[in-house]
Homo-oligomer: A and B are copies of this chain.
Amino acid sequence: MNDVLRNTWYVAAWSTELAPGAVLARRLLDEPVVLWRDAQGQPVALADRCPHRFAPLSMGRLQDGGASIECPYHGLRFDAQGQCAHNPHGDGSIPKAAVVRRYPVVERHNLLWLWMGDPARADVAALPDFSFLDPAEYAVGSGHMVVAGHYELETDNILDLSHIEFLHPLFASEAVRRGQVTCEQQGETVWCKRVMREDHQVPDFLRQAFNVPEGPLDRWLDVRWNAPANMALWAGGHASGADPATAFVSQQAHCFTPETATSTHYFFALAFPRAMGPMAEQLAAENVAAVKVVFEREDQPMIEAVEQRMRGHDLWSLKPVLLPGDAAAVRARRILQARIAAEAQG
Contacts and interface: CB of A to CB of B under 8 A. Distances in A.
Contact of A305 (B56, B156, B166, B306): B56
A297 interface: no
- Between A309, A318, A322, the greatest number of chain B beta carbons within 10 A of the residue's beta carbon is seen for A309
Interface stretch (A87-95, A219-227, A276-284): A87-95
A71 B166 contact: yes
A51 B321 contact: yes
Interface residues of A, number: 46
B324 A59 contact: no
Contact of A167 (B72, B98, B321, B325): B72
B98 A165 contact: no
Given A89-B177, A324-B90, A166 B53 contact: no
Nearest to A91: B324
Contact of A75 (B95, B165, B301): B165
Nearest to A51: B321
A196 interface: no
A54 B162 CA distance: 16
Interface string A62-98: 0000000011111110000000000111100001011
Contacts of A70: 166
9 contacts: A49-B309, A55-B306, A72-B302, A73-B166, A73-B302, A74-B325, A89-B162, A89-B324, A89-B325
A321 B166 contact: no
Given A72-B302, A167-B73, A323 B52 contact: yes
A325 B75 CA distance: 12
Interface in A141-191: 156, 160, 162-163, 165-167, 177
Interface string A182-215: 0000000000000000000000000000000000
A156 B322 contact: no
